[in-house]
Amino acid sequence: MRENEGADVAALNGDNMTQITLSVVEEWLDSHPDHCQDYFLRKIELDLINKWLVSHGFLNINDYISSATSTSSSGNVSPTNGLAIQQQISPATSPNAPSILVNGTNSLSVSQMYRSNSKRCRRHDFARAKTRSVLRTQEIGKDVPICSSRRSSLKDMRKFTSLPPSPISMLSLLIDSKVRLPRWPVSAHNVDTKRDLRHAQGERDFFLTVVRDIATDLDLKSLSQKIVDDLAVLLDCDAGSLFLVDGPPRGSRRRCLVSKVFDVHSGARGQFLLPDGVQCEVAGGPATTTDNEVRIPWGVGILGHVASTGETVNLDVACEDPRFDDEVDRIMGYYTSSLLCMPVKNSYEEIIAVAQVNNKNPDKDGGHFTSMDEKLFETYLQFVGIAITNAQIVEDSRAEYDRNRNLLEVVHDLFEEQTSIDKVIMKIMQRAQRLLKCERAAVLLVDESCDSTRFSKLFDLNSPKHNIKNNVKNSRQKVEGENVSRYLESLAERVACSGEVLNINEHECSEGIVDSGINSLLAMPIRNKNDQIIGVASIINKLNSSPFDDYDEQLFEAFTIFCGLGIHNTLMYSEVEKAMARQKVSIEVLSYHATASNKDVERILGMPVPAADSLNLYSLAFDDFSLNDDEMLMAAVSMFLELGLVKTFNIEKETLYRFLITVKRNYRDVPYHNWRHAFNVAQVMFAIMMGCDMKNTFSDLEVLGMFVGCLCHDLDHRGTNNSFQEKARSALVLLYGTTNTMEHHHFNHAVMILSSENLNIFSSLSAESFSTVMKVLKHSILATDLCMYFQLRNKFFRLIESKEYSWDEDSQRYLLMAMLMTSSDLAASTKQWHVQKRAARLVTDEFIEQGDKERFELKIQPQALMDRERQHELPQLQIRWIADICLPLYQALGQMNPKLNVMKEGAMNNMQQWSKLIDENYKNANGEQK
């Protein structure tokens, strides 16, 4: 290969050198790319690289470094950054990075051209690199539906967002996946090249070229620079200016003219912000900035006159016009002779900008702007109006995008910290201060305990610069600070009382306080979910000394809404914490008073356990009122022993005694649904299991769950039924709903007792056995609701009549459990007449108390069985109760098990006794009438 290369070089020497043409050289370079690249790397200069980049539509090195610096400082990707230069630096060279001269002026270290190799930067680069491919709606050269691509992109996005990015980055990516802003090309021509281009193309073609150029630019700053350059070339003048109208359509105090690019030929006194740190005394004070921006008050100078009137101004000698101010000319050493100024309008004929050209070429038309110049100027500005309108729309879209992203970050902060109201408000104020670029932010919370408008808390946040300024402590500044606080408080009171939004500028502030240092102030009310004003938020003094505009109001309104949400959530969280603390204290108090004491347990432990048959516990005709409280406790222990539950499940004696005493103490002192009723229900279940040979129908765990369910089925009964709870909208209804309200409460109360220390008689059970017995316990207690009985009894009756039941099947066995629980609960109607009559009177007393509550508290008419005025109807009501509800159940149980016919016979006997009572009452009533 070396020999071939040498022959090629020899062919280029000697006599053949005179015959070499450009095409031959290009052909040779194309066929030898290695030589071409080597020559380029050794000989090329930076100016030539810049020309190559510009000619291909990229930024030159200087512009790229500027955009990269601004991007890294702001954290946002510039839309004009069309060039991505990627280079790698060896770690060995990074400590002593050489400097690079850009265009012979700016010196920049190589290390400054690259981001630090920190984890944060690597994570950010990773997310950006993934975003470029993940968020693309369609691959190049492939016909992929947008909807499917979108789903795929979001799926891929979830994959890489699960690695390093923070929640804020994920929120930003979610917005990026929905919002797609257009990009625009970078102009590759300056004023000099445009003049050459106009000379080469001609005026008509050049006009079309520059119009096409501004039509594709959607960045106001670069667009302004293009327009200024185009005006200078089109009208053959020294320079041009473009000022955009800024501020609301109404209210001249807040409107002004703003130039996105620095210009020395404005000819009006204003707030001039000179580039590169140039200072000048303008508008009463020094102005230093690094941004090429000029602000001119509304109606000031020639520009202000044209903006306010819409007239065209053409001056041959600008300095002779009284509206012209040569202050900037004197500062910058420039002289303005001729001047042409014209408004720029949108499609609604509204003035959106003012364009101005200065110093016509003295070699043409005597250095004056002619009518032809005005016509050309007006024609070009029509296209300028369209371009500016489009760019402003995109700028508003970007502003909305940035606002949404910042608001999402506020939401993130809001829900990240809800334990302290101070932290929530300070976080929101810090974001509001940074986003709205103001010196100070304050939040005052209304004191709800006072009838008048007073504030309970003040949160005041100053910017670091403002804090340094205020660190100088002297008497005058203390007095001014007190005056400012009083002024802010008075404004906050005004906002809190009226609910209005205050947007005050410097002139209005000076009316309220002297030497306050307040140039502008924006105050808004903070509302809670009920639209009540709970505070006032204020921001003070924009950093650029301009008043707060409509955009600031909209953004700050969103911050106040989030502030209200944050305050509300934090207060709710605080209330929940207090409620949990109160509940904990209440449980501790109740557990102490409602749990069996050691003294009671020791006393019962010393008592002998009676035999079940000695107390007639096996009989379904047991006398419900034959035992006292202690005897019922010992009878319950006896039934546990007779059922074999203590031995089978290894229940400790002390635990059982403590459990029974605690259950007894957790029944309220109501006429009927008390501890005696619970014991009687458990005795009936015991008699059914042992005396009627039903125990073998169920497993030991099911017997345990049913028997404990009988003892606990009315825990904490309040003497009122489910219907009353629903009518009164009690706390139990809010907690458990309107279905099986009291029964759910009884079950949960039982669970609470079983979960307490030294009371868990299920402690020896395995996890599976514990789950089974708790299922049976819940099913048994819920079955005591008559609503459940009415839902299930027809199914049970059909099953018994068909004689196709099989208790080995779980569903049928659970149905039998429910029926046996109901039969035990209603067994008072089957007992001997003296027991039935006494029990019916206790039930009636309890019902009448509920009826009185309904009549006097709920203001409703109670049912007949609860109406005090209809007590004489008790016999009729009892007959209907037994005939419609009790007797059908006992008849079905008697068909299933003949030993249960005792309950049917007892119910029928009691019906006869109530009938006799009705006859006696009838005879007595007739005798009295006679």
**Alpha-carbon distance 417 to 687, whole Å?**
60
**Alpha-carbon distance 796 to 813, whole Å?**
11
**Alpha-carbon distance 3 to 7, whole Å?**
6
**Alpha-carbon distance 293 to 770, whole Å?**
78
Q: Is-contact 197 206, C-beta < 8 A?
A: yes
Neighbours of 16 (CB within 10 A): 11
Query: For 483-592, where are the E strands, in sequence order?
Result: 502-504, 521-527, 533-542
Kindly tell me the burial class for residue 901, based on how many C-beta atoms sit within 10 Å of its own C-beta (0-12, 13-18, 19 or more).
middle
**Alpha-carbon distance 275 to 292, whole Å?**
5
In this structure, is the dihedral angle defined by the CA atoms of residues 735, 740, 741 and 744, taken in order, positive or negative?
Answer: negative
What the block records as the tokens of 906 is 């007892």
Alpha-carbon torsion angle 691, 697, 702, 707, nearest 10: -10
**Alpha-carbon distance 840 to 625, whole Å?**
13
Taking 3-state DSSP, the helix, strand and coil percentages for the chain, each rounded to the nearest 5, stand at 60, 10, 30
- The C-alpha R_g of the chain, in whole angstroms, comes to 46
Q: CA-CA distances (angstroms) from residue 672 to 308, 624, 835, 853, 872?
A: 90, 12, 13, 17, 19
Helices then strands, each counted (H, E), the chain:
35, 16
Q: Are strands 106-109 and 237-246 parallel, antiparallel or unpaired?
A: unpaired
In the chain, the amino acid numbered 415 is: F
β partners of residue 246: 256
Task: Identify whether 673 is a catalytic site residue.
Answer: yes
What the block records as the tokens of 46 is 């930076």
Catalytic residue among 265, 305, 466, 673: 673
Query: Which region, left, alpha or beta, applies to residue 752 given φ > 0 means left and ψ of -120 to 50 means alpha?
Result: alpha
**Alpha-carbon distance 168 to 409, whole Å?**
6
Collapsed DSSP state (helix, strand, coil) of residue 294: strand
In this structure, is the dihedral angle defined by the CA atoms of residues 635, 637, 641 and 643, taken in order, positive or negative?
Answer: positive
Q: CA-CA distances (angstroms) from residue 788 to 54, 324, 797, 819?
A: 85, 94, 14, 10
Collapsed DSSP state (helix, strand, coil) of residue 600: helix
Backbone phi and psi for residue 190, each to the nearest 5 degrees, phi listed first: -105, -170
**Alpha-carbon distance 632 to 609, whole Å?**
11
**Alpha-carbon distance 555 to 559, whole Å?**
6
Collapsed DSSP state (helix, strand, coil) of residue 286: strand
Q: HEC profile for 763-824?
A: CCCCHHHHHHHHHHHHHHHHCCCHHHHHHHHHHHHHHHHHCCCCCCCHHHHHHHHHHHHHHH
**Alpha-carbon distance 153 to 149, whole Å?**
6
Neighbours of 20 (CB within 10 A): 12
DSSP character at residue 13: S
β partners of residue 526: 535
**Alpha-carbon distance 392 to 397, whole Å?**
8
Q: Is-contact 489 522, C-beta < 8 A?
A: no
Collapsed DSSP state (helix, strand, coil) of residue 242: strand
Q: Is-contact 336 330, C-beta < 8 A?
A: no
Q: Are strands 455-462 and 438-446 parallel, antiparallel or unpaired?
A: antiparallel
Residues forming the active site = 673
